Amino acid sequence: MSGLPPFDFETVSTEWLRTKPGAKWHRAPDAIAAWVADMDFLPAPAISNALTGAIAAGDLGYPDWRSIIGDSPATDAFVARCASRYGWHIAAADTREFNDVVQVIQVLLHTCTSPGDGVVVHTPSYPPFLHSVAASKLRLVPVPAERAAGSAARWEFDYDALDATLLAEPARVLLLCHPHNPTGHVFGDAELRRIAELAERHDLLIISDEIHADLTFPSLVHRPVALFAPDRTVTIHAASKAFNLAGLRYAIAHFGSQGAKKAVADLPAHMLGATNVMAAVAAEAAWRDGDEWLTAVVAHLDRQRTLLSSLLAQHLPDIVYTPPAATYLAWLDCRALLLGDDPSAHFLESGVRLSEGPNFGSEGNGFARLNFATSSTILGEIVQRMATP
Rg (CA), the chain: 21
Q: How far is CA 207 from CA 93, 220, 233, 263, 330, in A?
A: 18, 22, 6, 14, 24
Give least dist CB 251 to ligand PLP, A. 5
- 37 is an interface residue for ligand PLP by CB under 6 A: yes
Give least dist CB 180 to ligand PLP, A. 8
Quick one: how many helices (H) and strands (E) in the chain? 13, 14
Stretch that binds ligand PLP, among 94-102, 134-142, 286-294, 362-370 (CB under 6 A): 94-102
Q: Is the Cβ of residue 198 or residue 238 nearer to ligand PLP in the bound state?
A: 238
Is the bond preceding residue 124 a cis peptide, omega within 30 degrees?
yes
What is the Cα 300 distance to its own chain's centre? 18
Give least dist CB 205 to ligand PLP, A. 18
- 34 is an interface residue for ligand PLP by CB under 6 A: no
Of positions 97, 117, 191, 209, contacts ligand PLP by CB under 6 A: 209
3-state secondary structure of 303: helix
Binding mask 234-253 toward ligand PLP (x if CB under 6 A, else -) reads ----x-x-----x----x--
Say how far apart CA 211 and CA 126 lie, in whole Å: 12
Q: Is the Cβ of residue 97 or residue 100 nearer to ligand PLP in the bound state?
A: 100
- 102 is an interface residue for ligand PLP by CB under 6 A: yes
Residues 247-286 that bind ligand PLP (CB under 6 A): 251
3-state secondary structure of 161: helix
Type of residue at 59: D
Stretch that binds ligand PLP, among 96-104, 288-296, 297-305, 343-351 (CB under 6 A): 96-104
Which position's Cβ is nearest ligand PLP? 100
Of positions 25, 86, 88, 126, contacts ligand PLP by CB under 6 A: 126
Q: Which string of b and e fits 123-158 if b means at least 16 CB within 10 Å? A: bbbbbbbbebbeebebebbbbbbeeeeeeeeebebe
Give least dist CB 39 to ligand PLP, A. 11
What is the Cα 21 distance to its own chain's centre? 22
Q: Is the Cβ of residue 33 or residue 246 nearer to ligand PLP in the bound state?
A: 246
Q: Is the Cβ of residue 166 or residue 260 nearer to ligand PLP in the bound state?
A: 260
Q: Are 311 and 377 in contact (CB under 8 A)?
A: no
